A and B are shown apart, each in its own frame.
Chain A
Amino acid sequence: MMEHAGEKTVAMQLRPASSSASLVRTTISTLGKDLRLEWRSKDALNAMLFFALLVVVIFSFAFEPTAEEARRITGGLVWVAFLFSSTMALNQSWARELRHQSLDAFRISGAPADALFLGKAIGNFIFVALLEAIVAPLFVVFFNLTIAQGAGALLWVFVLGTWALVVNGAFFAALSLRTRSRELMLPLLLFPISIPALLAMVSATSAILTGEDSPTLGLQFLAVYDIVFTTVCLSLFETVLHAE
């Protein structure tokens, strides 16, 4: 009897530590699985890359900007291109979980729901960041840009901006899973919510490219946006996962 009670207290003491360890472990294994799947098929990356390339070419045909104009409008064009192409990866990543009912299996497994969400969000962050690393130089080439200064700040804009798109994107893609014609639904839900973040990204990027303004306000705004929406996503994800 005494031994039993002793075991119980040990178990209770261990639970918080072990649950946060299992959060990290499940996040890493979900992330690892997604990366491995993507590495083998390269479906999302190929589709996104080609789509973004098309957008760059179409924009440069449609606008034919002079060097001065290009510096002003590129901030907007870059982020519109990335916003559109990121929806492709986001739709793909959850659709995978529906095959063989793996999402249902996850739901009854008792693994922390937040881990699944974080795994997806980080995975998509990596895909979209890869895309940006490849396509951003193309913008520089096609629009004849010179990034004289502020490359470090630009990197921060990309990191914070991509997370802002991807965290809400992963959430709304999971939410769209529960609707008819889900691929259609994601942009309809994600774009209105992302508009303030998009404004901040565009303003910070343009500020750096034109060198007329400081990007600090945009960066601060993005940081707050990221923190608030990551919190909201994490606190509501379990509700969406178990919505029946």
Chain B
Amino acid sequence: MSSGLAFSRMNNKLVFFSALVLMLLVYGFRQAIFIAPTELTMGNIQRIFYYHVPSAFVAFTCFFANLIASLWYLKSRRLSADAWALATAEVGVIFCTIVLVTGPLWARPVWGIWWTWDARLTSTLLLWLIYVSYLLLRRFSTSGQTPVLAAVLAIFGSVDVVFVYMSIRWFRTQHPQPVMGPGGGGLDPRMGYALLANFIAFAAYGALLVTLRRNLELRRQRIEERHAMGALAGASR
């Protein structure tokens, strides 16, 4: 009874937070599409930037949080830590996908190429690959062992990212380096403001998705636990 009450109270908070996130996203959209001035050389295509950069921020934050949650799980063996790890990995992959799709869409008209094997792009791609394999591992492993195996892979992945970045810088340097669009200092204040608005909106949106996904996973864990307890009770009767 009391746990049911706690749930509904949590849901009220989440409903309020969801409404706030929606308003932030609408406000960010208005700033990015209608208020911020059109960039001189790139034109409207530059507006992708307001979604690309905040998405990258959310993705990398999620992957970092996943590492922390994985270490926390290995240390404490608490299933709630694993719920955080799962939620951050899934949301991270989604936002990383957005980054990888919006990047080439912007690069083609501006750089004239869809893709270049520079350190930042390639590291993002490999990070995405590692976390997709992480999600596959979770899908394929038997439920009792999933948290441990996933946490171990997360540690491997984070060690690997350092090597990925250095290897591409050292062994792939013959490729043309892209020149960043607006150089230092040339950013219109309204552009900066639109970027900031979307940063906040996307961060809140990411946090909301992670929380919802974590709650879902906690419930799934609880159901599984009840089933196991029920089976035990049935066996002992």
Which B residue sits closest to A231, measured CB to CB?
Answer: B159
Q: Is A156 close to B, CB under 8 A?
A: no
B153-170 interface code vs A (CB 8 A; 1 in, 0 out):
101110110011011101
Let me know if B152 and A221 touch, CB within 8 A: no
Size of A's binding interface in residues, CB under 8 A = 31
Contacts of B44 in A (CB 8 A): none
Check B130–A244 contact: CB distance below 8 A.
no
CB within 8 Å for A236 and B152 given contacts A180-B142, A199-B171:
yes
Q: Which A222-244 residues have C-beta < 8 A from chain B? A: 225, 228-229, 232, 236, 239-240, 243-244
Does B133 lie within 8 Å of A188, measured CB to CB? Answer: yes
Q: Mark A165-204, 1 if CB is under 8 A from B, else 0.
A: 0001000000100111100110011001101110110110
Give the residues in chain A near B140, CB-CB below 8 Å: 179-181, 184-185
Closest to B151 in A: A239
Q: Counting CB contacts under 8 A, is B74 at the interface? A: yes
* Inter-chain contact A195/B126, CB cutoff 8 Å: yes
Q: Is B167's CB under 8 angstroms from A200's CB? A: yes
Minimal Cβ-Cβ distance residue in A for B156: A193
A197 to B126, CA, bound (A): 13
Chain B residues with CB under 8 Å of chain A are 74, 126, 129-130, 133, 136-137, 140-142, 144-145, 148-149, 152-153, 155-157, 159-160, 163-164, 166-168, 170-172
A residues adjacent to B (C-beta < 8 A): 168, 175, 178-181, 184-185, 188-189, 192-193, 195-197, 199-200, 202-203, 217-218, 221, 225, 228-229, 232, 236, 239-240, 243-244
